[in-house]
Amino acid sequence: MAYGPTLAALADPTRRAVFERLRDGPASVGDLARALPVSRPAVSQHLKALKQAGLVTARAEGTHRVYAIDPQGIGELRRWLDRFWGDASNRSGGKSNGSEPPRGRKQP
């Protein structure tokens, strides 16, 4: 997976909020729209972009589509990001164990 489309998809604050809502578990468009200050059509468009970026999956459940975070998409993004922690650890003389961000950087 190319990380560019994934990062671009998460750059939009509303799309990121939709994605973060899915952290609590699978949800339909209606469930997500009720929890956010955007319309159902807008949520659908954000989910479409997240799906195209490989970050969510969709399955039919009756007349609804239920969306969930795609662990494979997250895993690929995580592996890409983890390379930076390893590189930072190597440059700092091995002071980092690779499981945390380099010092002097705040975690989001």
pLDDT tens series, the chain, 108 aa: 567 888 999 999 999 999 999 999 999 999 999 999 999 999 999 999 999 999 999 999 999 999 999 999 888 888 888 888 776 566 665 555 555 555 554 444
Q: Is the pTM of this model over 0.85?
A: no
Distances (CA, A) of 55 to 12, 50, 69, 78, 96: 14, 5, 6, 12, 29
